[in-house]
């Protein structure tokens, strides 16, 4: 039976990464491997490509077969597939889970609410049920700053009140935060970290892995990149009359590699290797340390840079990265958009020992390297 402790050294620890072939997941797998962990990726490839994991092996110099190859293993399955999950936990000595798997397009979630609630919420319930049956009760959850809704003030701290999400995707994140927190309340052996991301962009500096959205991108930087590479004609900038320095919306953009390293820091925090415990805030449930030194409880952390950048800041940074002008058109505000949203990351720095290192120019440079080397994504 697998153990729920993360207190073993990384070289003796296996992490299950659901959705590990996706954008954030693949970068997190790289950082876990670099930190000495072994990884089992479970992904149904509904919005990702197995090619990303082949490139992860290339980045980390892992062979496909032979000694060392077993440090990265792949299972193609959905988190709704109980039998596949049971087989995966039985076959591997998994100590903890990083849970990315889920549908993530805001607009699509409005059109397909049942699919989003079923896949994201029911799938997570299946995952944690199978995990606990195998004695695995440590999970890092991929949450989102969307749980804050329209914030009362910025920068947003973890103590900020959560407002109702404006779409089913955001609702699933908020619901799952509640569900995973309640798991600990009902069973104090659980060890839960909720990571609230702001706006991940960028790509690995090698240019081998990056964001590869299916169809027309939903997020700003992949859209800008598609314009830069000639796949789309222009960028639509929605709203030019917000109370911000240039009138366009301001967001906290974070390099995906910084974000990935935040997940490794969260695993180390759960294992008792960094930090001193949960800060005193109403959305964390600090528990006592387990006999093996690992933590029990619920930790809530923002992952961002703590700096806001406007839509036009991003467009101009990408122009500097690619050396060409990015055509854009100003359009009316979109319903539900807010003026500015950026994080306070003091808690992550204090408790996880983590801080974002890369600035907006570096994010755009790495995005452009990925996009220009892979104009058709992994299909290239």
Distance of CA 189 to the CA centre of its chain: 24
* Crossing angle of the two packed helices 51-60 and 23-34, in degrees rounded to 10: 30
- Rg (C-alpha) for the chain, rounded Å, is 20
Which residue from 323, 308, 288 is spatially nearest to 359, judged by alpha carbons?
A: 308
List of residues 6+ apart from 280 with CB closer than 8 A:
none
Phi, psi (5° rounding) for residue 254? -125, 140
Q: How far apart are CA 373 and CA 175, in angstroms?
A: 39
- Look at residue 278 and give its three-state secondary structure: coil
Triad 310, 315, 320: Cα angle to 5°: 120
Q: How many CB atoms lie within 10 A of CB 353?
A: 13
- Residue 184 annotated in active site: no
**255, two tokens:** 């390099």
List of residues 6+ apart from 292 with CB closer than 8 A:
5, 7
Which residue from 222, 216, 237, 199 is spatially nearest to 368, judged by alpha carbons?
A: 222
First-to-last C-alpha distance (Å) of the chain: 41
Distance of CA 3 to the CA centre of its chain: 25
- Would you say how long the chain is, in residues? 380
Distance of CA 94 to the CA centre of its chain: 20
Phi, psi (5° rounding) for residue 138? -125, 120
Q: How far apart are CA 312 and CA 328, in angstroms?
A: 9
**Bridge partner list, 15:** 39, 96
User: Of the listed 37, 148, 169, 223, which one is catalytic?
Assistant: 169
Q: Catalytic residues, which ones? A: 169
């Amino acid at each position: 039976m697998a153990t729920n402790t993360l207190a073993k050294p990384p070289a003796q620890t296996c992490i299950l990464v659901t959705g590990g072939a996706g954008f954030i997941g693949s970068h997190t797998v790289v950082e876990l491997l670099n930190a000495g962990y072994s990884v089992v990726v479970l992904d149904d490839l509904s919005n990702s490509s197995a090619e990303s994991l082949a490139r992860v092996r290339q980045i980390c110099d892992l062979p496909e077969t032979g000694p060392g190859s077993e440090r990265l293993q792949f299972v193609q399955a959905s988190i709704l597939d109980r039998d596949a999950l049971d087989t995966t936990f039985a076959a591997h000595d998994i100590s903890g889970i990083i849970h990315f798997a889920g549908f993530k397009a805001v607009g699509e979630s409005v059109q397909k609410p049942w699919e989003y609630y079923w896949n994201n919420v029911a799938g997570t319930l299946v995952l944690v049920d199978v995990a606990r049956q195998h004695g695995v009760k440590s999970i890092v959850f991929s949450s989102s700053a969307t749980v804050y809704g329209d914030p009362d003030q910025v920068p947003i701290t973890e103590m900020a009140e959560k407002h109702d999400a404006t779409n089913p995707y955001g609702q699933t994140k908020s619901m799952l935060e509640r569900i995973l927190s309640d798991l600990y309340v009902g069973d104090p052996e659980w060890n839960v970290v909720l990571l609230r991301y702001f706006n991940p962009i960028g790509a690995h500096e090698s240019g081998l892995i990056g964001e590869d959205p299916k169809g027309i991108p939903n997020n700003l930087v992949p859209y800008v990149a598609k314009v830069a590479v000639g796949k789309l004609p222009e960028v639509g900038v929605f709203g030019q009359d917000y109370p911000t320095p240039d009138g366009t919306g301001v967001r906290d953009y974070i390099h995906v590699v910084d974000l990935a390293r935040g997940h490794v820091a969260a695993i180390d925090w759960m294992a008792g290797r960094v930090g001193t415990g949960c800060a005193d805030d109403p959305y964390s449930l600090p528990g006592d340390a387990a006999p093996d030194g690992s933590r029990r409880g619920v930790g809530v952390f923002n992952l961002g840079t703590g700096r806001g950048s406007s839509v036009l800041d991003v467009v101009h940074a990408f122009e500097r990265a690619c050396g060409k002008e990015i055509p854009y058109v100003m359009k009316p505000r979109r319903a539900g958009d807010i003026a500015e949203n950026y994080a306070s990351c003091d808690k992550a720095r204090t408790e996880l020992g983590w801080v974002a290192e890369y600035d907006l120019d570096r994010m755009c440079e790495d995005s452009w390297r990925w996009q220009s080397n892979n104009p058709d994504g992994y299909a290239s």
